[in-house]
Chains A and B, each alone.
Chain A
Amino acid sequence: MAITFHVDIVSAEAEIFSGKASMVFAPAEMGEVGIAPRHTPLLTRLKAGEVRVQLEGKEEQFFYVSGGMLEIQPHVVTVLADTAMRAADIDEAAAQRVKARAEKAMSDKKSDFDYAKAQAELAEAVAQLRAIQHIRDKGGR
């Protein structure tokens, strides 16, 4: 039986693969790497491409990753796959968006977030009405 090692392929939203393999090929940023058992520890980024896992028998499995990280320990290989498209400017745009929303919500007095204030006002109005009703009842009889 061939020497094997453990491979985990996970993405943020699900586990994709977990099991034993005799060889793994992954699209590292500086070129494709082939990983045999007892590889030296290595940490690298992945680019979009195909991860090939050679199982114990010569059977192969293919997984597509759009990017991510690869960690190699002598007996464990971990592929942390991205599900999202990543690029510096896309990330920046997302950051700007949430900032703008915070500013808008904090400054906009009439936004629909103002449930709390409206609720307080409503409670006050109801209390006033009740007081008036009370006075009227007493005066009437």
Chain B
Amino acid sequence: MAGAKEIRTQIKSIQNTQKITKAMEMVAASKMRKAQDRMRASRPYAEKMRNVVAHMGKAHPEYKHPYLIEREAKRVGLIVISTDRGLCGGLNINLFKSAISSMQEWRGQNLDIDLAVIGTKAMSFFKRLGGNVVSENSHLGDTPRVEELIGSVKVMLDAYNEGRIDRLYIANNVFVNTMTQNPAVEQLLPVVGDECDENLKHHWDYIYEPDAKSVMDGLLMRYIESLVYQGLVENIACEMAARMVAMKAASDNAGTLIDELQLVYNKARQAAITQELSEIVSGAAAV
């Protein structure tokens, strides 16, 4: 049996770890609330944007925007949104798994893949795996702003405009609730139309000022950006929730470990005392 002193040091070190995980749990819990608020705050914009784009899909403009036209795919783009930091359970790994299964499917159809990564975890993962990463963006913090994403999105949109990629997807975690976060891969381009609004079935069109092309360009660019932004804030909420759960599990595990070690320690202490006593008694008997 190990000496009492070693067990005591081990208990001490586990207690220190437990303190850290507990603190991280509480930090994640408070950050999660803020992240969820932010997720909710940005939702109206994404919804309105989706409405407007859906309306536009129903209009009959003289100009057909390339983002609305399905074309034969040779190469696809994938935007992967991951976290910057670890210690959040299987969140990133699950996301990468689903991204990779999609990528394998595309490879099976002889499609090449360009990656745009957001977050250091995705960067290091795809660097190791060997993907064609065309843009990297990280350290956006807990309160990302839209202008920090413009670069990443523009790289992909430019590639689409120039015909280097023919489809664009986004992979991020979708927040269901604190306990559940689901990885999802969704298509951004070409824009998939929503269900039709009844009032808009007849033939009509907007007035465009100054002209259809520039208005649609601006609108669709913002549409894609808003979807990516929404994906990012949602991913942050997922990160915080996952970290909170993971750290709670770690603290609990540390607790049980300490209890077990405490028991072993008590036994060792007791054994040492008994031994000492019996030595004294037998010594006295010898005299």
Residues of A within 8 A of B (CB): 8, 10-15, 18, 28-30, 40-45, 68-69, 71, 73, 78, 80, 82-85, 90-99, 101-102, 105-106, 113-117
Q: Which of B123, B154, B204 contacts A95 (CB 8 A)?
A: B154
Q: Which of B45, B136, B145, B205 contacts A105 (CB 8 A)?
A: B136
Which residues of the other chain, A, contact B124 by a CB distance below 8 angstroms?
113-116
Which residues of the other chain, B, contact A96 by a CB distance below 8 angstroms?
151
| Shortest Cβ distance from B229 into A: residue | A12
Q: Is the pair B152, A98 in contact by a Cβ cutoff of 8 Å?
A: yes
| Shortest Cβ distance from B150 into A: residue | A94
Say whether B146 faces chain A, with CB atoms less than 8 Å apart.
Answer: yes
What's the least CB distance linking A86 to chain B, in Å?
8
Q: Is the pair A102, B214 in contact by a Cβ cutoff of 8 Å?
A: no
Q: Is the pair B49, A80 in contact by a Cβ cutoff of 8 Å?
A: yes
What's the least CB distance linking B207 to chain A, in Å?
4
Q: Which of B44, B51, B59, B123 contacts A41 (CB 8 A)?
A: B59
What's the least CB distance linking A24 to chain B, in Å?
15
Q: Is the pair B52, A113 in contact by a Cβ cutoff of 8 Å?
A: no
Q: Is the pair B155, A95 in contact by a Cβ cutoff of 8 Å?
A: yes
Contact size range, B = 35 or more
A98 to B127, CA, bound (A): 15
A95 to B116, CA, bound (A): 11
Say whether B250 faces chain A, with CB atoms less than 8 Å apart.
Answer: no
Which 7 A/B pairs are nearest by Cβ-Cβ distance?
A: A94-B151, A84-B147, A102-B136, A44-B209, A98-B135, A15-B44, A95-B154
What's the least CB distance linking B217 to chain A, in Å?
10
| Shortest Cβ distance from B120 into A: residue | A113
Q: Is the pair A105, B209 in contact by a Cβ cutoff of 8 Å?
A: no
Q: Is the pair A12, B154 in contact by a Cβ cutoff of 8 Å?
A: no
Q: Is the pair A98, B155 in contact by a Cβ cutoff of 8 Å?
A: yes
Q: Is the pair B158, A13 in contact by a Cβ cutoff of 8 Å?
A: no
> Which residues between 123 and 148 of chain B lie within 8 Å of chain A, taking CB atoms?
123-125, 127-128, 133-138, 145-147
- A–B pairs, 28, beta carbons within 8 Å: A8-B48, A10-B48, A11-B45, A12-B42, A12-B45, A12-B146, A15-B41, A29-B209, A41-B206, A43-B56, A43-B206, A44-B209, A69-B52, A78-B51, A80-B49, A83-B146, A84-B145, A84-B147, A91-B151, A93-B151, A95-B135, A95-B152, A95-B158, A98-B116, A99-B155, A102-B134, A105-B123, A116-B125
